[in-house]
Amino acid sequence: MGYAGVQESELSMIAIVIPTLNEFDNLRRLLPLINYELVDNYKVIIVDDNSNDGTAELIKTIRYPIRLITRPQKMGYASAITKGIDAAIEEGADIIVTMDADLSHNPAYLKEMIQSINSCDVIIGSRYNHGGIKDTRLARLFISRVGNYVAEKALGIKVKDCTSGFRVYKSSIFKDNELYKIKSVEGYGYLIMITYNLCKHSFKVKEFPIVFEDRYNGKSKISKWIVLEALMLVLLLAVQRKMGKQHKVTHIE
């Protein structure tokens, strides 16, 4: 597979981690789009929380390279991403992509985001750094904006959209560390925490402008508790940061 700026001998295998819970209709549309963009040298890793809508049966009928990890019950976003990254490393992936199943993260951005990884360690698909939003409910937009603003100001994270789950990582940044293995947080909180960890350890983070669209089908899994948890996490980290050493944050515009 040829990507401009990506040395195939160095970065030859891409793993795309997608957490799912009853996303049958969305996956049926998403997976062909991913295959259209990437064609080969990739594997989709789906971490499914025991969906009852036929997701597992759908995966068995699809010819694209997919690994399905089925968990016995709903266990949450953070643990799903952690499990998926573990599996991607096990598969020997050089690049790890995380994205949602609901088509809010457009696969059309994949190639260019992957191409951009040579200049940094992490690419974040950003809605707020020259990106855009389409058809998002005002309440969710408000919560996201406030959460990112507070995280940026309180934690010193020079990232406009640290709650975006559309990301590209060099797998090498997780070698010999557990920066992505974050327990006791979910959703926004997990994304804020992993961004904070990466910046704290001086990994280079670059934001890539995307247009975020509201989910194609189904209901959002984001609860009021997840939002509250994220805000409490930011406040806790801010207090710890204030009391301890100020960490230098590396960021590329």
Contacts of 113 by beta carbon, 8 Å cutoff, 6+ apart: 97, 123, 125, 168, 208
Q: Count Cα atoms within 13 angstroms, Cβ side, for 88.
A: 34
* Assigned domain for 5 exists: no
Mean pLDDT of 95-112: 96
Q: Is the pLDDT of residue 136 over 80?
A: no
The verdict on residue 91 lying in a domain is yes
Question: 């247009």: which residue's tokens?
Answer: 211
Label residue 217 by pLDDT band (50, 70, 90): low
* All residues at 6 or more sequence positions from 224 whose CB lies less than 8 Å from its CB, including other chains: none
Coil/strand/helix, residue 11 = coil
Largest pairwise CA distance in the chain: 54
Predicted confidence at residue 251, as pLDDT, reads: 45
Element of type H or E holding 123: strand 122-126
| Strand-pair partners of 169 | 96, 122
Helical axes 187-200 vs 138-155, angle rounded to 10°: 30
Token reading at 60? 């068995």
Instruction: Judge whether residue 9 has pLDDT over 80.
Output: no
36 domain-assigned: yes
Distance of CA 149 to the CA centre of its chain: 19
In a domain, 117, yes or no: yes
159, part of any domain = yes
First to last CA, the chain: 28
Q: What is the pLDDT of residue 213?
A: 80
Q: Which of 144, 128, 105, 126 is nearest to 226 (CA)?
A: 144
Q: Which residue has the higher pLDDT, 208 or 157?
A: 208
User: Where in the sequence is the domain holding 150, given as residue range(s)?
Assistant: 14-243
> Which CATH number do you get for residue 21?
3.90.550.10
Task: Provide the pLDDT for residue 30.
Answer: 96
pLDDT, tens digit, 9 for 90 and up, residues 68-78: 999 999 998 99
Answer whether residue 6 is part of any domain.
no
Give me the number of domains the chain comprises.
1
Asked if residue 90 has pLDDT above 80, the reply is yes
Please check whether residue 249 lies inside any domain of the structure.
no
Residue 1 resides in a domain: no
Specify the amino acid at residue 7. Answer: Q
